[in-house]
Amino acid sequence: MAKLLEGKPLAETIKEGIKQEIATLKNKPVLASVMVGENAGAESYTKSQKKAAEALGIEYNLEKLPGDTQESALIEFIKKLNADKATNGIIIQMPLPQGIDYKKISAFIAPEKDVEGMHPANIGKIIFGKAKILPCTAAAVMELLSASGADLYGKEVVVVGHSEIVGKPLALLLLEKFATVTVCHIGTSKAGKLEEHVRKAEILIVAVGKAGLIKGDWVKDGAIVIDVGINRVAEKIVGDVEFEPAEKKAAQITPVPGGVGPLTVTMLMRNLVEAAKLQQA
Binding site for ligand NAD (CB under 6 A): 137, 160-163, 165-167, 184-186, 188-189, 194, 207-210, 213, 228-231, 260-261, 264
Residue 174: left (phi > 0), alpha (psi -120 to 50), or beta?
Answer: alpha
Contact 145, 155 (CB under 8 A): no
Please spell the DSSP secondary structure of 239-274, one letter per residue. Answer: -SB-HHHHHHH-SEE--SSSSSHHHHHHHHHHHHHH
**Minimum distance of ligand NAD from residue 160's CB (angstroms):** 6
Nearest residue (CB) to ligand NAD, 30 versus 194: 194
Contact 142, 171 (CB under 8 A): no
The 3-class secondary structure across 118-152, one letter per residue, is CCHHHHHHHHCCCCCCCCHHHHHHHHHHHHHCCCC
C-alpha dihedral, 207 to 213 to 216 to 219, nearest 10°? -50
Contact 240, 228 (CB under 8 A): yes
Residues sharing a CB contact under 8 Å with residue 132, sequence separation 6 or more, in sequence order = 125, 274, 278
With b for 16 or more beta-carbon neighbours within 10 A and e for fewer, the 37-69 pattern comes to bebeebeebbeebbebbeebbbbbeebeeeeeb
**Minimum distance of ligand NAD from residue 236's CB (angstroms):** 14
Q: What share of the chain is helix, strand, coil (3-state, %, to 5)?
A: 45, 15, 40
* Cα torsion 104, 107, 109, 115: sign: positive
